[in-house]
Structure 1
Amino acid sequence: MKPMKTMRLAALSLALLGGAEVAMASEVTITAEFRPSSTNMRFKNTTPISGFCNRWPSYASCQEDDGKSIDLGINYTKETVSWAPIERDRFYALFPGTQLVDVSAAGGAPVQLSFSFTSFSAYLVKRSGLGFPANWGFYVEGGCRALQGAIGNGVSWGVNLWGINSPESPTGCHVGAHGEGEGLRAVSDISEFSVAYKLIAPNPLAMPAGLYTGEVNYSVGENGQIALGNNVTNLNTNSLKIKFELDVQHAFELQFPANSDKVILEPPGGWMRWLNGGPAPEKLVRDLPFRITKTGPMSVFMECEYLVGLLCGVRNPRNNHIAALDIKMSLPGGLQLHNGQAVERHPIPTGRTMPLRVETVTPVFNQPGALHFATAPGEAAAMVQHPGDTYRGNVTVVFDALL
């Protein structure tokens, strides 16, 4: 008998589990991309349009960046009462205020975007009851205003479009009725629950290239963060996840003259003064010009074949004498150090552990820069003590685009 009881209890548990209804979370993704050009320095919203603007794409607000809609995937049934004294018994919606959301690329520091709901639309089909659709008409009260007052077919269905008056801190929105008396009850199915939104993205010029992701979660229900009012049934979700994907791709190009892989140093004005019995040169120099296009942060450092303290050097193979070099860099004004200082003949550090970090203040396209090579103080006088000798060394200047 005991085995029989065990089997019956197990069968009952399976039946209960199979009959349970679990509201699934709704999830939408908002996407934007940054592709810089001389005329574009902003993120472009690439989120596919759905909801209201998918049905009525020519509507005025759907032409604006903050007016394009996205369907949140929220469906439910609601009983409404026209001109009900309790506002939540009417057709009702309340949205959360502005949310700051951290987004980050793989291995990078997070940056913040700002997200707000700016308008709201829903498609309502009456199941039963008297009067016009409960979301119809211009008589919108509370924290919204009617942007579109009447889209519908008689009394069977209706579509509302309400603007949220204070997106940073909304209050509940509701509508009494469309020229009707109090107390008319109706039961309606609501779908295509869509919103327009305002997305304030971070400054892309300060963001290394990459795919930045983040998310925000809201509860959904009669009293959720997205609140639907009283007498809601058949709600298909109790939560909404909004995911953000910001794709940042920077422009970066360096152009050096031909044969720039060899830099020959000589005294300012040439060797003739010294060859004619003049004093030893104070330094040997050469500037290497280049042109740069850059729209994001970067770091610069050197790698040396011969390291002299914190400087790169060149070596005399006959006697192994190594002379230190003083290597600096100048960049266009749109590229600055993190403290706002201009990059004007600024020393380049050696090694990738402590690079020179450069920020983009304004994007630069094909503008001039230069590498400045010179012997360190006192080195030229020592080098000319070995006339006819050649000093050589490899110096690699690394421009890291922080990709």
Structure 2
Amino acid sequence: MTVVNQSTLDSYPVTLAFEQFSLQLERTKGTPGVPIFDMEGGCMLAASISRNWGAYGRFVWSINNPQAPQPCYSDSSDGGVGEQVESEVGLAGATYRLIMPRPIGMPQGTYKGSTQFTVGGDGDFAFGNNATNFNNAMLTVHLELDVRHDLYLRFPPGSERAVLEPPGGWQAYLGGRGVPPRLERDLPFRIWSTGPFKVYKRCEYDIGEHCGIRNASNHSVPVEVGLSLPGNVQHGGDAARRIQLTTGAVGAPVFEPQQLLANHPGQVHFQVGREAVGEMTRHAGTTYQGQVTVVFDAEL
């Protein structure tokens, strides 16, 4: 069957592989015992209870090959006596294994799907020759899967403050070599994740699509905020290298681990471009600052 994410509408195929069946039978006509042990076909007896000289029984049959099951049945004959036996089915049950994609590739959320099986005769669930009085000729199985991913980050102490500097420091600028090409700071972190996630930013000061830093005279310049993740994480099918973050969750870039992330390295990049640095040098002696919040979100 197909299950669909109720928020994102992503869909994935899943398979029910039935592994065991159980029945409760009670003889209503005839003297031979309820047939439990004389089995043929693609099953084996897993457990059974029999009482009243075999007039009542419960049993569990295991499917030998759940992915390619063969019919399972028992022989109700009794040494050639030929007496007709009738039994009532009081309870029926089944166990199954769910075969599904790796959850690491599935967006977080609730997935729903359903499928139907025919009951009786030569249907998907056939209870033998002359079985009658089914209360329904169709069995509908509904699945609801709740996918919740773990997402954990660890930044080193002091990461709450990013001091932006030219590549190699301020020595060249102080020595009269002109305006630095940029100001930058990379903050390293470690990441653990079991599934896809999106990342975006929130700004204390907004300057277009960028966050801003501002001095005491209210002069502002934009700061580009990017993200780099390990090689086994993709964005849009490519490596996640210096991906620019949006302001707010709308349209935020989505990152898809190709395998479990466990203590892998990443970096948040902050950068002020040459033109903005030139503006800042005309306000030498002032301090520019602003708050940027980077949000890692497993809710896609």
Instruction: Identify the TM-score tier after normalising by the shorter chain.
Output: 0.7 to 0.9
Distance 1:173 1:324, change over 3 A: same
8 Å CA contact 2:24–2:58 kept in 1: the answer is yes
Distance 1:301 1:288, change over 3 A: same
For 1:312, the equivalent position in structure 2 comes to 211
Distance 1:166 1:261, change over 3 A: closer
Q: TM-score, normalised by structure 2?
A: 0.82
For 1:357, the equivalent position in structure 2 comes to 254
Q: Secondary structure at the match of 1:269?
A: coil
Measured on the aligned residues, the alpha-carbon RMSD in Å equals: 3.1
Distance 1:168 1:292, change over 3 A: closer
AA aligned opposite 1:359? E
Is the aligned partner of 1:174 residue 2:73? yes
Distance 1:381 1:123, change over 3 A: same
For 2:297, the equivalent position in structure 1 comes to 400
Is the aligned partner of 1:203 residue 2:91? no
Distance 1:246 1:378, change over 3 A: same
Cα distance in 2 for partners of 1:284, 1:185 equals 92
Residues 270-322 of structure 1 deviation map (CA, whole Å, 9 limit, x = unaligned): 2233223333211111122223222121111223344444333333453x543
Q: CA deviation at 1:166?
A: 5.9
Extract unaligned runs of 5+ from structure 1.
Answer: 1-99
Q: Give 1:42-121 correspondences, 5 Å limit.
A: 100-105=1-6, 108-121=9-22
Q: Secondary structure at the match of 1:380?
A: helix
Structure with the larger helix share: 1
Residues 220-257 of structure 1 deviation map (CA, whole Å, 9 limit, x = unaligned): 33455423244334444444333323233322222334
Cα distance in 1 for partners of 2:209, 2:102 equals 35
For 1:20, the equivalent position in structure 2 comes to none
Cα distance in 1 for partners of 2:194, 2:107 equals 10
Q: Secondary structure at the match of 1:383?
A: helix
Is the aligned partner of 1:271 residue 2:170? yes
Cα distance in 2 for partners of 1:225, 1:177 equals 22
Q: Secondary structure at the match of 2:182?
A: coil
Cα distance in 1 for partners of 2:5, 2:184 equals 44
For 1:342, the equivalent position in structure 2 comes to 239
Residues 4-60 of structure 1 deviation map (CA, whole Å, 9 limit, x = unaligned): xxxxxxxxxxxxxxxxxxxxxxxxxxxxxxxxxxxxxxxxxxxxxxxxxxxxxxxxx
Q: CA deviation at 1:158?
A: 4.3
Cα distance in 2 for partners of 1:267, 1:313 equals 18
Cα distance in 2 for partners of 1:259, 1:327 equals 18
Distance 1:178 1:377, change over 3 A: farther
Cα distance in 1 for partners of 2:43, 2:295 equals 57
Is the aligned partner of 1:331 residue 2:229? yes
Residues 151-173 of structure 1 deviation map (CA, whole Å, 9 limit, x = unaligned): 64554344554444665565644
Residues 49-87 of structure 1 deviation map (CA, whole Å, 9 limit, x = unaligned): xxxxxxxxxxxxxxxxxxxxxxxxxxxxxxxxxxxxxxx
**Across the two proteins, how many residue pairs are aligned to each other?**
299
AA aligned opposite 2:28? R
For 1:379, the equivalent position in structure 2 comes to 276
Structure 1 counterpart of 2:24, from 105, 119, 123: 123
Q: CA deviation at 1:343?
A: 1.9
Extract unaligned runs of 5+ from structure 2.
Answer: none
AA aligned opposite 2:227? M
8 Å CA contact 1:282–1:381 kept in 2: the answer is no
Distance 1:238 1:246, change over 3 A: same
Q: Secondary structure at the match of 2:239?
A: coil
Q: Percent identity?
A: 36
Structure with the larger strand share: 2
For 2:144, the equivalent position in structure 1 comes to 245
Residues 348-394 of structure 1 deviation map (CA, whole Å, 9 limit, x = unaligned): 23343221101122222343322111112433233223321332333
Which deviates further from its counterpart, 357-366 or 105-114?
Answer: 105-114
Q: Secondary structure at the match of 1:398?
A: strand
8 Å CA contact 1:147–1:161 kept in 2: the answer is yes
Cα distance in 2 for partners of 1:253, 1:146 equals 46
Residues 109-136 of structure 1 deviation map (CA, whole Å, 9 limit, x = unaligned): 3433211323333232222214342343
